[in-house]
Amino acid sequence: MEQKFELIFKPYRHNQTFKMQVELIHQSEELMRFKLSGGERYIIMEKLLNKKKGNWRIVKSNVNFSATATKQSAYTIFELQDKLDEYLDTHD
């Protein structure tokens, strides 16, 4: 798998698509850690490989997730996770 790639996604309830740079920054038998960045913003997410449910978690971020738009933020994170899973499924 490539160490760096682009991810294009459309956030929940947003008319615009976004391009994010994704970098695999750590890989082991137990987890994969990715840094997703776009401009000045970034999210570091881990995929726990040995868990069947709840296998994604955010480790660090400088994105200001809005407390008033919790649903939109949650769906956007789910969308990012789905896009990463799709990429991993096709590029093993």
Residue 25 pLDDT > 90: yes
Cβ atoms within 10 Å, residue 80: 22
Side-by-side strand order, sheet with 56-61: 4-9, 18-27, 31-38, 41-48, 56-61
Q: What is the pLDDT of residues 27-40, one digit of tens each?
A: 999 999 999 998 89
Where do the structural domains in the chain lie, given as residue ranges?
Answer: 4-90
Q: What is the pLDDT of residues 46-84, one digit of tens each?
A: 999 887 777 899 999 988 776 667 777 788 888 889 889
In percent, the amount of the chain with pLDDT more than 70 equals 91
Whether the model pTM is above 0.85 = no
